[in-house]
Amino acid sequence: MTVVPLSNAYAGRANSFGFLRLCFAVAVVLAHTAVIGYARPLTEVVDVAGLGVAGFFGISGFLITRSARRASLPRYLWHRALRIWPGLWVCLLFIGFVVAPIVWYADRGNLDGLWRHPAGVVNFLQANWWGGYRQQGIMDVFRDTPYGDLVRKSVLDGSLWTLSYEIFCYLIVASLAVVAVLRRAR
């Protein structure tokens, strides 16, 4: 049996990390769908969401740390920004300009009050644009769902709460790269 450093063993794409991350992401989506759509967990026996999040972030942490070791700090931060913000912005714009107006109009027959209200679309976009998820809903869109009744508020994308933690972890890894802890690690 030969000993190979992790940096050599998992070089390139000849591993199953992508497939495993996809499986963990699907588990998280299914678990969140059950909670947000039906106000109950997918299963009482196993915390599917917890396992999915832990597995996804564990593998992602390994890959992101490897990225920070190989790239300069500006390049690393640029790649992390490209990983998070374009997808977040498309998601927020879709929620704000497609989903919320359709549901609001279907419920009320007009769009009055949807845009400039303190809990409206504009504030939703401003509050969440950089990944903080400070406003979970728009007005009372989807407030009458089982999950909305449970938490007593509108929630339009329950998975976005993790982004602030993800950004924080990226910054921790960047800090470790700056002080060269990652470069000295075996």
Is residue 5 in some structural domain?
no
Please check whether residue 79 lies inside any domain of the structure: yes
Q: For the chain, what is the domain count? A: 1
> What's the whole-model pTM score?
0.79
Q: What single string gives the DSSP state of each residue in 66-105?
A: HHHHHS-HHHHHHHHHHHHHHHHHHHHHHIIIIIHHHHHH
Q: Contact at 8 Å (CB) between 137 and 154? A: yes
Helix (H, G, I), strand (E, B) or coil at 38: helix
Which tops the pLDDT comparison, 98 or 16? 98
pLDDT at 169 over 80: yes
Q: Give the mean model confidence (pLDDT) for residues 87-112.
A: 94
Tell me, yes or no, whether 32 lies in a domain: yes
In single-letter form, the type of residue at position 133 comes to: Y
Task: Report the distance separating Cα 132 and Cα 167, nearest Å.
Answer: 9
**Is position 62 within any domain?**
yes
With 0-12 / 13-18 / 19 or more C-beta atoms within 10 angstroms meaning exposed / middle / buried, residue 18 is: exposed
102 within a domain of the structure (yes/no): yes
Please measure the distance between the N-terminal and C-terminal CA atoms of the chain and give it in whole angstroms.
19
Q: Kindly state whether residue 150 falls inside one of the protein's structural domains.
A: yes
Per-residue pLDDT reduced to its tens digit, 115-138: 989 999 999 999 999 988 899 899
Q: What number is the average pLDDT over the span 70-81?
A: 92
Counting residues of the chain whose pLDDT is more than 70, the rounded percentage is 92
User: What residues make up the domain containing 130?
Assistant: 14-184
Give pLDDT, residue 24: 94
Dihedral over Cα of 78, 80, 83, 89: its sign: negative
